[in-house]
Chain A
Amino acid sequence: MKNLLTRLRGVERDIIQPPAEDQAPYYEPQANEIRVFEAAYRKRLPVMLKGPTGCGKTRFLEYMAWRLKRPLVTVSCHEDLTSSDLVGRFLLEGEQTVWQDGPLTRAVKAGAICYLDEIVEARTDSTVVIHPLTDHRRRLPLEKKGQEIEAHEDFMLVISYNPGYQTVLKDLKPSTKQRFIAIHFDFPAEEIELRIIRNEVPDLGEDSARRLVAAGRRARALKDHGLEEVTSTRALVYAGSMMSAGLEPIEACRVAMVNPITDDVELAEALMEIVKAHFAEG
């Protein structure tokens, strides 16, 4: 009953939640990533997930958290994310100051998997905070309190990192990178991608799904021609969802696969050519 309540929509709940035991998040393994992750977990080594946007990094981690039966704390990093946002800060409450743990501290204490999504977005000082956590020390210093926490034995740190994404101004420092076990993700193979789409959008026909996957894979050939990000599996799922919601296939692809990834008129035209070829009546 309590489980049910905490899963109610529109209700605040604590960020540290044990994974629901009954329902596994849907994940199609691409290679040996599950074995690698489990091995890293056994040795409590931090893991870095590399790969393009929308190829399944976050979903993989949700799945692994479920599989390892650990709570998952996800922090989406952004430009203004400081170390206090991760570690914690003093707040005023009534007449006194109160220390409030940040999500990282909570995860360290509770033995959760802490997932720092798109870590390059965060400021340098916050990436340095995780250093002592990622080596043999496994400690989190709470500078402001003059304390440090020995991490819970089940605690694990995972970051995601998208190489080539906005590296104009940002990149991880080599000293940070080399502390992690890195698993490289790419878009799944054709059959796997097809299974993913059939699974995520069950009411989409086999034929449409097949065309969608073929179009998506074809569109990725344009990667080095001015696309920062290519058509992701997620975009294909979205396009499939739009189709199953009643939108014409070509329009669905335009709004889900073409418009979001480029403002370049000609590139968009070329992508639409690909879509139209696959979804033409015939």
Chain B
Amino acid sequence: MNSEVEKALAALAEASFVAHRDALAALPCVRRHGDAAALEWLKACRELFLHDRDAGRAFIRGTPAIEEVAEEVLTWTRQALQFMKWRNSWKAVEGFMDNLPRAYLILGHAGEVRWAEIGHKWCMRHLESGTAYFRTPVDDLAGRQGITGVENVCTPAEELFELRRLALSTYLAGAIKVRNLLGAPAVLPWALRGADILQAGRLRGEAYFRLESEESLHLLMEQLPGYRLPEHQRLMQFLVAAWYPGSIGLKDGNWSPDQGRAFVETDGRDLFLPAAMAGREEAVLGVLHAAGHILFGSYRRDHMEALFREAGAANPSVDPGQRIDWQPLYALFGDDAPRFQLLFDLCEDLRVDWRIGKVIPNHLQRMVEEAEACHPGPGPAADYYDLALRTLKRAANFTPALTLPHQGGGNASRRFEPLLAEQATVADAFRIALQLYREIPLAPVSTREECQRAYLPGRSPNAARPVYPREEQTESGKQQRDLDQEEGTPSQTPLPLADEKSPKCVQGGEPESDQKTDRMAGVGGQAGFGIPQPARVQSHGRGQGAGERGIPYPEWDYREGRYKRNWAWVQERKLAESNMNEAIRLTHQYAHALARLKKAIQAQKPTRQAPLKRQFEGDDIDLDAVVGFVAEKRAGLSPHTSIYRRRDVQQRDTAVTLLADLSTSVMQQLPEGQGRVVDRIRAGLLLFAESMEVVGDAYAIAGFSSKYRDSVSYYTIKDFEQPYTGEMKAVIGGLSGRLATRMGAAMRHALTRFRDAPCRRRLLLILSDGRPEDYDDGGDVRYLHEDTRMAVKEAGDQGVHAFCITLDPAGTEYLSRIFGAGHYLVLDHINSLPKKLPEIYLRLRR
């Protein structure tokens, strides 16, 4: 027997030195299951290796880890051999081997078999889909539901694949998020809807499945129960801005329903909002309360240090992002930490709420009302809840001079009084919590759910995230962070953009939260489901290619509520391509439309320039009319007194810049199959230019595209003072799309170009086919939206009227926020663009 193994090893050595070496290393653990198994495994190694080197290598190297969990070899060896049916399946094998240990752990042996079976079926249908399946982490697939979870997610995809050839890779990530967020039953309707959309248009459908399109997000959000905060983020921002000075950013937290009750959390700088909360009242109170923590010193460095001293712990440790973690504090209490944590939060929350009540009238009454309405019902959590409610009620009616009658809770009621003072700090809260912890016999709470139930509406676990400590001067100095100082000393307060991708969510509400596994689960940024993660703006080294850098513009960062100076760099470039033939062809094709347009403009022109005659009132007397009037009067008639002349009020000097979005997306084929989007844009620009020549207003035409913040290209096609030439026609004829859409920077540049324009009325007409986005926005669509919104505002301040024409059918959803109601137009039919463009201008200039 042994010699058989030796022989197989030798055969393997013949095939590859590396394979032999790796197999030798892995062999001992396989041999534990007998020589027969070892032999079969070795043969599989060789066969897989010969089939595909990478597959073989992945198989051999993955073995020890799998064996440890599976405690057998043959089942999965045979499963791995199945991959030999397909060529180029090494990626699938790699994924398979990587995920096997987790599959055994989570799904058990039977589940693993089923998991592999589903995957093999997919490989059979479509290898790429199978690969995507095996490369998806089993934890994500199962979503805490074991093999049923895997099946729930994958079954709808089969039908989609049969009917619409939708690859699993397109579908899977989205489906998992939908399942996590809305539960398994929601997956099928979501997928069916997606199938319909896919039938209408492949690109649109695929965007839907990737959860990238507004319509799929919209659909999901509609089904999410409760008060949806992302929809009301503006409202929350308004409230924070109204009640508290300084800037507190609102970000999307990565909460998902499987984490239990939704809370507003904070890291000492920003608030993190969950996708949905139980109700509006709770959401409003939660935002106000969490912001109160930031403002009223829960995270002041000196106070926190005092607290840690009080606790006998060393100075708070900071993580690489300079954040303080609360966990060491709770670690002091061992298994009873949750009980202490609840009491501590209760004290600190009371202190903060009382301070908030000094700023916001009736805040405490409102909290009491909401808390009474949402009582959690009996259970260990109710004791904490009631205690919190009692203290809150007392605080609502508290006046320092008054001696309060003792009610339930014994002498505890007095204990809270020191917290109701301006000078109380988080350290006082800690001290009082410690006393309560020793004296009040409240039953410990065991589960996370129970813990979460103990919080009053609006309050939340304060240690949910590691926090950035606040310095004293920022506290008293109205939270105005000095930009320069911040940029100058990056080591002390790193720019939040650069230092972290997405703040980790350490679920402080959990009793067992100091266990590593839980933190890992909490990180689950993937579960954040299409709610945009904070952007990762890569900082590019400054000073590279200084001559090429172009003109810097600030960019608005909504998360910090400030401009980032010299952030986006715009370079003026010439468009190299030109295509006269195309221009001529297009002019010819649209000759009819152009003729009609010109006629329409001509018809408007006289009323535009000539004064209106025979008016009932006006600046001057219309002599002809007067002569007629007098004559008629003499003749005994009673004529109208319409004898004035008035210049037309519509006569206004206007300058317009047409700024076309030349991002990659304009190269898309039209759904009807008649050319591409850019063809219509070319025609539109040509007709626009021709019409403007007739109208006679000053106009400029430009395009833009971008790749990262340091490379925004601005292509001037025609400037205000330049005459319209054949060369320009050719450039328009040769337009093509490239890169992305950093709209704000391009708009700012267009605004500076307006300074050359002689006219008082200025119009910036933006022609786009999608939302503003760039490669470095980190998937945070809101970031560039907000920046563009600010650019629109700047335009307004500079007397330039910005108007957007979009080809994106979903444009209504975001353009009203960016450009304001009535300042944008969604063109439903792209074919109408060429003749619509000049019409829109004429309508706007009226």
Tell me whether A118 is interfacial, beta carbon within 8 Å.
Answer: no
State which of B360, B619, B643, B801 has its C-beta within 8 Å of the C-beta of A168. B801
Contact residues in B for A89 (Cβ distance below 8 Å): 619-620
Instruction: Report the separation of the CA atoms of residues A15 and B620 in the bound assembly, to the nearest whole angstrom.
Output: 24
The segment from B151-159, B230-238, B749-757, B770-778 that touches chain A is B230-238
Give chain A interface residues in 80-108, CB to chain B under 8 Å: 80, 82-84, 89-90, 92, 95, 97
Indicate if the CB atoms of A273 and B239 lie closer than 8 Å. yes
Indicate if the CB atoms of A280 and B242 lie closer than 8 Å. no
The residue on A at minimum CB distance from B641 is A92
Q: In the complex, how many angstroms separate the beta carbon of B116 from the nearest chain A beta carbon?
A: 50
Name which of B232, B245, B796, B797 has the most chain A CB atoms within 10 A of its CB: B796
Contact residues in B for A97 (Cβ distance below 8 Å): 621
Indicate if the CB atoms of B238 and A270 lie closer than 8 Å. yes
Per-position binary interface string of chain A over residues 136-177, scored 1 when its CB falls under 8 Å from any chain B CB and 0 otherwise: 000000001000000000000000000010011101000000
Instruction: Report the separation of the CA atoms of residues A157 and B731 in the bound assembly, to the nearest whole angstrom.
Output: 55
The segment from B127-135, B362-370, B412-420 that touches chain A is B362-370
Count how many chain A residues have C-beta atoms less than 8 Å from C-beta atoms of the other chain: 35
Answer whether A263 and B238 are a contact pair too, CB < 8 Å, given A169-B761, A171-B799, A282-B362. Answer: no
Instruction: Report the separation of the CA atoms of residues A144 and B237 in the bound assembly, to the nearest whole angstrom.
Output: 57
Contact residues in A for B235 (Cβ distance below 8 Å): 266, 269-270, 273
Instruction: Report the separation of the CA atoms of residues A164 and B793 in the bound assembly, to the nearest whole angstrom.
Output: 11
Indicate if the CB atoms of A84 and B619 lie closer than 8 Å. yes
Indicate if the CB atoms of A169 and B241 lie closer than 8 Å. no
Indicate if the CB atoms of A277 and B362 lie closer than 8 Å. yes
Q: In the complex, how many angstroms separate the beta carbon of B236 from the nearest chain A beta carbon?
A: 9
Tell me whether A267 is interfacial, beta carbon within 8 Å.
Answer: yes
Give chain A interface residues in 264-282, CB to chain B under 8 Å: 266-267, 269-270, 273-274, 277-278, 280, 282
The segment from A182-190, A198-206, A214-222 that touches chain B is A214-222
Answer whether A266 and B621 are a contact pair too, CB < 8 Å, given A273-B239, A278-B361. Answer: no
Indicate if the CB atoms of B649 and A79 lie closer than 8 Å. yes
Indicate if the CB atoms of B643 and A169 lie closer than 8 Å. no
Indicate if the CB atoms of A222 and B242 lie closer than 8 Å. yes
Give chain B interface residues in 780-818, CB to chain A under 8 Å: 796-797, 799-801
State which of B234, B361, B621, B800 has its C-beta within 8 Å of the C-beta of A277. B361
Instruction: Report the separation of the CA atoms of residues A277 and B356 in the bound assembly, to the nearest whole angstrom.
Output: 12
Indicate if the CB atoms of B361 and A280 lie closer than 8 Å. yes
Instruction: Report the separation of the CA atoms of residues A267 and B817 in the bound assembly, to the nearest whole angstrom.
Output: 12
Tell me whether A42 is interfacial, beta carbon within 8 Å.
Answer: no
Contact residues in B for A124 (Cβ distance below 8 Å): 760
Tell me whether B333 is interfacial, beta carbon within 8 Å.
Answer: no
Indicate if the CB atoms of A167 and B242 lie closer than 8 Å. no
Indicate if the CB atoms of A277 and B360 lie closer than 8 Å. yes
Tell me whether A9 is interfacial, beta carbon within 8 Å.
Answer: no
Give chain A interface residues in 196-232, CB to chain B under 8 Å: 211, 214, 218-219, 221-222, 225
The residue on B at minimum CB distance from A269 is B235
Per-position binary interface string of chain B over residues 234-257, scored 1 when its CB falls under 8 Å from any chain A CB and 0 otherwise: 110111011101000000000000
Tell me whether B401 is interfacial, beta carbon within 8 Å.
Answer: no
Answer whether A169 and B821 are a contact pair too, CB < 8 Å, given A97-B621, A266-B235. Answer: no
Tell me whether B830 is interfacial, beta carbon within 8 Å.
Answer: no
The residue on B at minimum CB distance from A85 is B619
Count how many chain B residues have C-beta atoms less than 8 Å from C-beta atoms of the other chain: 34
Contact residues in A for B641 (Cβ distance below 8 Å): 92
Name which of A80, A90, A221, A267 has the most chain B CB atoms within 10 A of its CB: A221
Contact residues in B for A214 (Cβ distance below 8 Å): 361
Contact residues in B for A171 (Cβ distance below 8 Å): 799
Instruction: Report the separation of the CA atoms of residues A184 and B621 in the bound assembly, to the nearest whole angstrom.
Output: 41
Answer whether A266 and B796 are a contact pair too, CB < 8 Å, given A225-B241, A273-B284. Answer: no
Contact residues in B for A167 (Cβ distance below 8 Å): 796-797, 799
Tell me whether B840 is interfacial, beta carbon within 8 Å.
Answer: no
Name which of A219, A221, A282 has the most chain B CB atoms within 10 A of its CB: A282
Contact residues in A for B363 (Cβ distance below 8 Å): 277
Instruction: Report the separation of the CA atoms of residues A222 and B796 in the bound assembly, to the nearest whole angstrom.
Output: 18
Indicate if the CB atoms of A282 and B365 lie closer than 8 Å. yes
Contact residues in B for A269 (Cβ distance below 8 Å): 235, 238
State which of B366, B620, B621, B629 has its C-beta within 8 Å of the C-beta of A280. B366
Indicate if the CB atoms of A219 and B242 lie closer than 8 Å. yes
The residue on B at minimum CB distance from A211 is B361
Instruction: Report the separation of the CA atoms of residues A62 and B694 in the bound assembly, to the nearest whole angstrom.
Output: 51
Tell me whether B424 is interfacial, beta carbon within 8 Å.
Answer: no
The residue on A at minimum CB distance from B238 is A270
Tell me whether B182 is interfacial, beta carbon within 8 Å.
Answer: no
Contact residues in B for A282 (Cβ distance below 8 Å): 362, 365
The residue on A at minimum CB distance from B630 is A95
Instruction: Report the separation of the CA atoms of residues A168 and B823 in the bound assembly, to the nearest whole angstrom.
Output: 13
Q: In the complex, how many angstroms separate the beta carbon of A58 from the nearest chain B beta carbon?
A: 26
Instruction: Report the separation of the CA atoms of residues A230 and B762 in the bound assembly, to the nearest whole angstrom.
Output: 26
Contact residues in B for A168 (Cβ distance below 8 Å): 796, 799-801
Instruction: Report the separation of the CA atoms of residues A211 and B361 in the bound assembly, to the nearest whole angstrom.
Output: 9
Indicate if the CB atoms of B237 and A218 lie closer than 8 Å. no
Name which of A80, A83, A169, A218 has the most chain B CB atoms within 10 A of its CB: A169
Q: In the complex, how many angstroms separate the beta carbon of A122 from the nearest chain B beta carbon?
A: 12
Contact residues in B for A95 (Cβ distance below 8 Å): 630
Indicate if the CB atoms of B239 and A270 lie closer than 8 Å. yes
- The 3 closest A-B CB pairs, nearest first, are A270-B238, A280-B362, A282-B365
A interface residues, Cβ below 8 angstroms from B: 79-80, 82-84, 89-90, 92, 95, 97, 124, 144, 164, 167-169, 171, 211, 214, 218-219, 221-222, 225, 263, 266-267, 269-270, 273-274, 277-278, 280, 282
Give 27 CB contacts A-B under 8 Å.
Answer: A80-B649, A84-B620, A90-B621, A92-B641, A92-B643, A95-B630, A124-B760, A171-B799, A214-B361, A218-B242, A219-B242, A222-B238, A222-B241, A266-B238, A267-B238, A269-B235, A269-B238, A270-B235, A270-B242, A273-B239, A273-B242, A274-B243, A277-B360, A277-B362, A278-B361, A280-B362, A280-B366
Knowing that A167-B797, A266-B235, A273-B284 are A-B contacts, what are 19 other residue pairs whose CB atoms are under 8 Å apart, sorted by A's residue number? A82-B619, A84-B619, A90-B621, A124-B760, A167-B799, A169-B760, A169-B761, A169-B799, A219-B242, A221-B241, A222-B238, A263-B821, A266-B234, A270-B238, A270-B242, A273-B242, A274-B242, A280-B362, A280-B366
